[in-house]
Amino acid sequence: VAEWCGACKTTKPLIRQFSKRLSDLAVFLVIDIDENEEIANHFNVSAVPTIMLLRDGNTLGHIKEQIKGSGPDTGSKLAALLFFNIF
């Protein structure tokens, strides 16, 4: 995420919801790319928001596209990514 990113601000609540519901299965982190450039570069983050699923440092899947607002498909994409890789 980035403070200047409008789509990031609308995506954060969605991530918080999943974090609460799946707290026993996954850890959710929100990282500001401006404050953590090294992490953003390591994972080749080129657009925000970028949502990634990692296990043992390896990328299992990602939603790496410009998300306009909190679009109705953002939640379903995130749910599919999580449930496909967690269950």
Q: Is 5 among the residues known to form the active site? A: yes
Q: Which of 5, 15, 48, 78 is catalytic?
A: 5
Alpha carbon distance 65, 46 (integer Å): 9
Q: Is 34 among the residues known to form the active site? A: no
Q: Which of 8, 40, 45, 81 is catalytic?
A: 8
Pair 66, 7: CB distance under 8 Å: yes
Pair 78, 13: CB distance under 8 Å: no
Q: Which residues are catalytic?
A: 5, 8
